[in-house]
Structure 1
Amino acid sequence: MNEKENPADTLNQERQRRFEEDLIDAYDEELEMEVDDRKLDGDSVFSAEARESRKMYFRELFRLQGELVKLQDWVVSTGHRLVVIFEGRDAAGKGGAIKRITQRLNPRVCRVAALPAPNNRERTQWYFQRYVAHLPAGGEIVLFDRSWYNRAGVERVMNFCTDEEYEEFFRSVPEFEKMLSRSGIQIIKYWFSITDEEQEVRFESRIIDPLKQWKLSPMDLESRRRWEDYTQAKEIMLQRSHIPEAPWWVVQAVDKKRARLNCIHHLLDQVPYTDVEHPSVTLPARVHHPDYLRQPVPSTMIVPEIY
């Protein structure tokens, strides 16, 4: 290190670089189809190695998404029912992975279930009842962005459930998932794992980014304070609910892009899908009627062409 360099300044510069990198990554979520990697050559945030890694990421992501489309066609053709559960700490990257999975798929086939906190009526129901309504029918895929494992995580840590309810959950959840498996529903469960330091960076990035501040809630901030409690709850959850019919899989998620690719690749390996033949499609000729007159649209209905 240069004698004139202040260690605190170096640390701040590194954190600022991380914030900028995270910001660009967030924009990539919506711009991946339009990204021209040649424009990244002059980017000050990424090194040449990082730019090459990003190019590889996009190429591999599009390839895997093509396989997801094949999986979707197979699910529809065979009537397969698939549930994929995404769990992990706040800011672990679950939502980003889910976005990449659903990005090219038919929302009528693959849908996301992200349930809010239970209302007063739902609190009096059988615990699993509100989740059952979102399970897939034949030819459907449901991705749970958090799931019935809320009871083993946030509810346990935040004291939203009693000790008796907590223990009853662990008595019930293996039987519940075995029942779903016997009925023909395939269950795949992912835990996205990040480090203490990485969560801190991602939370601070959300604080300074106006487009991401909405992602921070008082519950998120409290979860940060209770990191160790969540760690203990997670360890117990993985131990007590890891069953052959619905095993847990841990995704190393400190590197968001690698986590997405690894998760999608693994998901594809868990389903015995094959290519489905499709009949050739021929575009029919448009029918023309000589007496048809197109009516003009009133100018007051036209959206102003600002751009």
Structure 2
Amino acid sequence: MKQTSIILISLAAGLLFTACPHQDLQEGETGEGHIELLVIFNNYEPQETTAMIMAYLWEGATWAEAEDAGPIDPTGQMFMVSTVETITGESGVTFSDLPEGTYWCGVFETVGMNYDTRVDTVGYYNAGVDTTFNSMLEPSALVIDKANEDVDVSMETLVLFIDCAGVENGSSTLDLCGTCDDDSDNDCVPLVSGDVNLEVEFINWEPDPNAIMYMAYVWVGGSWSEALAAGEIQNQMFGVFPGGGTANGTFDVTFTNLSEGTYFSGVFETIGMTHA
């Protein structure tokens, strides 16, 4: 493995959730509420492939009905935490403008903002689970109506995890070809591979007010025009966020398992994961 460094000058230990559904309802109104979800991360270790921690909300009379319908917003809400290292501290998200209804909440490790990019389950809020109020498999209801103007719930994650085969505390992992098993001899690997490490030093950098994240991209091709036309082959998110205001400090990302070739890299402020 060869590693190239580039410098440019210019996001299964326990964690505690607190979810606070709020809404200001007046007599006779259908109502609009919001759910504030605070997560306290205690030395949480995300998977190597994880790019972000996302929260999603479902609505339905039962969990089965809500799950079948899918999240009310498939892009969810992103926690402003870095997944390139152990996560410690607090981070919160808010779901706003929610009508009266029965809601279900879950948090996941993902490689993108959409729910269908999830790679691991952080946990679901479930009031029926003794002491921890957490289920790795299904949530319990959060109700927004005139009788529930301010509801506080909390949960602590379990030590167990669900592997790619759906087994609690299982040992199966996904290889580079997307095969899930627990036999490393079957892993798919590239014939030639290397890494590119990109380090950026932010010096009083003022982000665009619309930016959500700082993203790095890598392209491959015989020339820059050829690589650009083909589109980026990997992206990585830096562990610093425009929402924090003026950026200072040094942050890095690594593009891994790159086949032999000529690569080009750039860093951008974005509102999503892709360069387009």
* More strand as a share of residues: 2
Q: TM-score, normalised by structure 1?
A: 0.18
More relative contact order, 1 or 2 (CA 8 Å, 6+ apart): 1
